[in-house]
Amino acid sequence: MTTRELFRPNTVQILRTLAKNRVELIDSINDLRKKYPDEYVAFHENEVVGHAKDESALRSSLAKKYGTIEHIAIQFISSKELQLIL
Amino acid sequence: MFLLKIEGYIAKNGEIVVPALLIIQEMGIAKEMTLELDTGAASTIISEGDADAMGLDYSQLEKGTPALGIGGVADVHILKNARLAFVSGEWLIVKIMDRLEVIKHNVEDPIIKKALKSLPSLLGRDVLGTKFTITSDGKNVTIEF
């Protein structure tokens, strides 16, 4: 399989949407921590589109609902505030 | 003069998120992901969460020197001959990565383990080099290197 064959035709749009969803999730993290402590949250267009304790279950339910889910930001929301030190 | 211009987005807390497509041709993997820009990181690092999401088989990877950071020690696996494709306008710029580090944490506590898996992958200086500019308008970010 060549590199070209691994590309989806709309990869640029998927990547942009995924990154914007990720930023909006980061911006909403404090609210999400209150509402969905220690759960996986799926975020798209500034909304929670799914949440579950189990990541695989969440991905499966999203896939059934949306088909492709590559553009959706999914993250575990720890009940404890963890500081990322870079 | 800079050769490459790629795009990212900045969160309100200052985290810079860079979209990228990780391509591992030998494994037939092409995974859309985001990397967090980290000019303090010597290497670009694929997080355990992203590695799991793309179904990466650690047993197929060479084991590297453990990573030591403020957060403790983690196992490092080496991914060779991968490609990272970044967004540049309507194009994808493909960067060949001779070596990418993949992190795996050894933690017992299930909640901490999940939290560590949610740490972002990092875009480090092995991609940026030593000559780069980062421009932000408070929402969109342009990285030239």
Task: Tell me the ipTM for this assembly.
Answer: 0.91
Provide, as residue numbers in chain B, all residues whose Cβ is less than 8 Å from the Cβ of A20: 9
Domains of chain A, by residue range, sit at 9-77
Give B137 to chain A, closest Cα distance, Å.
15
Strand bridging mode B72-88 / B62-63:
antiparallel
Distance CA(A38)–CA(A35), nearest Å, equals 10
Partner residues linked to B75 by β-bridges? B104
Q: Could you tell me the CATH number of the domain that includes residue B102?
A: 2.40.70.10
Which one-letter DSSP state was computed for residue A79? S
Each residue's pLDDT tens digit, B103-125 = 988 888 887 888 888 889 999 99
Name the residue with tokens 């694929």: B46
Provide, as residue numbers in chain A, all residues whose Cβ is less than 8 Å from the Cβ of B128: none
Partner residues linked to B78 by β-bridges? B62, B101
Residue B43 — pLDDT band, cuts 50, 70, 90? very high
Domain that holds residue B46: 5-144
Strand bridging mode B91-104 / B45-46:
parallel
CB contact under 8 A, A15 and B41: no
Compute φ and ψ for B38, nearest 5 degrees.
Answer: -140, 95
Residue A8 — pLDDT band, cuts 50, 70, 90? low
pTM listed for this prediction: 0.91
Count of domains observed in chain B: 1
Mean pLDDT of all residues in chain B? 90
